[in-house]
Amino acid sequence: MSYQIGLVGAGYIMQKEHLPALMKEERANVLAVVSGSGQSAAEASARFDIPNVYKTEEEMYAAHDLDLVMIAVPNAYHAEAAVRAMENGVDVFCEKPPAITTAEAARMEEAASRTGRKLMYGFHHRFSQEADIVKAAAADGEIGDIYHIRVHALRRRGIPGWGTFTDVDKQGGGPLMDIGVHMLDLAFYLSGWYRPLEVSASTHYRLGRKPGVGLLGSWDPSSMSVEDFAAGFIRFEHGRSLVLETSFAANTKEEERLSVHLFGDKGGVEIDPFEMYTEKYGALLDITPAYLDQADPRSDYERQIEHILDVLEGKARPVSEPWQGTYVQQLIEAMYESAAEGRAVSLDG
């Protein structure tokens, strides 16, 4: 079985991760690519032997009967591109974050249900072996009731020096929108989609607006319109809570740390580096994995592509569902609103 795939956007993530993963999949036939300027599409076409390059998505849909479109363009164009694809009868994989507003994410969700097309988001951390272990441990009752979650997505000097990541109009926000979203999604995927009652957050603009060392390329401080640090607190029903810290730049030890820590009444788990904390046999025990790379050397992106093709083939149900994108987007929007207004935002009602 071979699936006809079109690409919208052919920049960093498409060329670094998705295309190499697609090339390893016999079921994937990448037929066409569209990109904003056309330059990255031409480059991707040459590097990965993609036979057709188009200037617009309409031209691509008119020329081909696609099974899947993969979208990796600046966040502000996700909703438009995803809805257009679904209205053209094509299933969608869309990079994270779902969109830049809750209304857009809801529009994407509505289009998926109206057209009957699949809409899967690029939350690739769900495809790690560590996530599989936590899911299995939770199903076995090893963690118990999760009453608190800590989310970290901290970079020391990781303001992306390419693309539009410092432009609030194109991206919708900084680290909260870009990397915080990964760990928020992972936290809910691993614990549960609890009903949020109230959100509180602060955003900071301290380091990104001055020149400095760049560990992800160099950026232009004068065009930095997104936050460089965000902190948030979410209160859920039944007293559950979540704290978040996320940064593109912060004075902290590690270069980058993306992690989720689940606090349960039977056990706890931290995803990266992976460690489980439990009390058994009259002792406090820590459990760490050994040789995970040898168990499965594939990257999360490769596992994600395999899953998407399994979904197209009818062998799997999508791991990510459109309403989950809207849920995460709503929390992010509430955090930005809380930070801008300097008060807690109620989601209860």
Ligand X SMILES: NC(=O)c1ccc[n+]([C@@H]2O[C@H](COP(=O)([O-])OP(=O)(O)OC[C@H]3O[C@@H](n4cnc5c(N)ncnc54)[C@H](O)[C@@H]3O)[C@@H](O)[C@H]2O)c1
The single residue among 5, 6, 11, 208 that binds ligand X, judged by CB under 6 A, is 11
- Contact status: 35 vs ligand X (CB under 6 A): yes
Is residue 331 a contact residue for ligand X (CB under 6 A)?
Answer: no
Binding segment toward ligand X, per CB under 6 A, in 68-76, 100-108, 246-254, 326-334 = 68-76
Measured in whole angstroms, the distance separating CA 131 from the mean position of its chain's CA atoms is 14
Task: Work out whether 124 is an interface residue with ligand X (CB under 6 A).
Answer: yes
> Which span (36-44, 221-229, 311-319, 327-335) binds ligand X, by CB under 6 A?
36-44
| 74 binds ligand X, rule: CB under 6 A | yes
Q: Taking the complex as a whole, how short is the minimal distance between the CB of residue 166 and ligand X, in angstroms? A: 11
**Rounded CA separation 162/193 (Å):** 33
Residue 287, token pair as written in the block: 């459990």
Helix (H, G, I), strand (E, B) or coil at 321: coil
Which residues are 146's β-sheet partners? 264
- Does 22 help bind ligand X (rule: CB under 6 A)? no
DSSP H helix total and E strand total for the chain: 13, 15
Q: Using the rule CB under 6 A, give the single segment among 73-81, 275-283, 305-313, 339-347 that binds ligand X.
A: 73-81
Instruction: Quote the CA–CA distance of 150 and 119 in Å, as a whole number.
Output: 28
40 is a contact residue toward ligand X (CB under 6 A): yes
Nearer to ligand X, 6 or 264 (CB): 6
Q: Strand 3-8 to strand 28-34: parallel, antiparallel, or no bridges (unpaired)? A: parallel
CA triple 264-197-109, angle to 5 deg: 95
The answer to whether 289 contacts ligand X (rule: CB under 6 A) is no
Which part of the chain contacts ligand X (CB under 6 A), choosing from 33-41, 264-272, 314-322, 331-339?
A: 33-41
**Calpha distance 155→168 (Å, rounded):** 19
| Closest residue by Cα to residue 305 from 32, 2, 16, 20 | 20
Question: Using CB atoms, what's the residue nearest to ligand X?
Answer: 11
Residue pair 218/226 in contact (Cβ under 8 Å)? The answer is: no
8 interacts with ligand X by CB under 6 A: yes
If one asks whether residue 95 binds ligand X (CB under 6 A), the answer comes out as yes
Binding mask 150-169 for ligand X (x = CB under 6 A): ------------xxx-----
Least gap, CB of 115 to ligand X (angstroms)? 21
User: Taking CB under 6 A as the rule, does residue 128 contact ligand X?
Assistant: no
Phi, psi of 104 (to 5 degrees): -70, -45
Which of the residues 176 through 235 are near ligand X (CB under 6 A)? 178
Nearer to ligand X, 7 or 334 (CB): 7
| Residue 77 contacts ligand X per CB under 6 A | yes
Q: Is 13 in the site for ligand X (CB under 6 A)?
A: yes
Nearer to ligand X, 120 or 138 (CB): 120
Instruction: Tell me whether residue 339 is exposed, middle or buried, using C-beta atoms within 10 angstroms of its C-beta: 0 to 12, 13 to 18, 19 or more.
Output: buried
Q: Is 37 a binder of ligand X (CB under 6 A)?
A: yes
Residue 9 as a binder of ligand X (CB under 6 A): the answer is yes
Rg of the chain over all Cα atoms, to the nearest angstrom: 20
DSSP string, 33-102: EE-SSSHHHHHHHHHHT-SEEESSHHHHHHH---SEEEE-S-GGGHHHHHHHHHHTT-EEEEESSS-SSH
Q: Which range touches ligand X (CB under 6 A), out of 4-12, 126-134, 245-253, 338-346?
A: 4-12
Give the shortest CB-268-to-ligand X separation in angstroms: 26
Alpha helix stretches (DSSP H) within the chain: 12-13, 19-23, 39-48, 57-63, 78-87, 102-115, 129-139, 168-171, 175, 181-191, 292-295, 300-312, 322-341
Given the complex with ligand X, which of 174 and 264 has the nearer CB atom?
174
For ligand X, the binding residues (CB under 6 A) are 8-14, 34-37, 40, 72-75, 77, 95-96, 122, 124, 162-164, 178
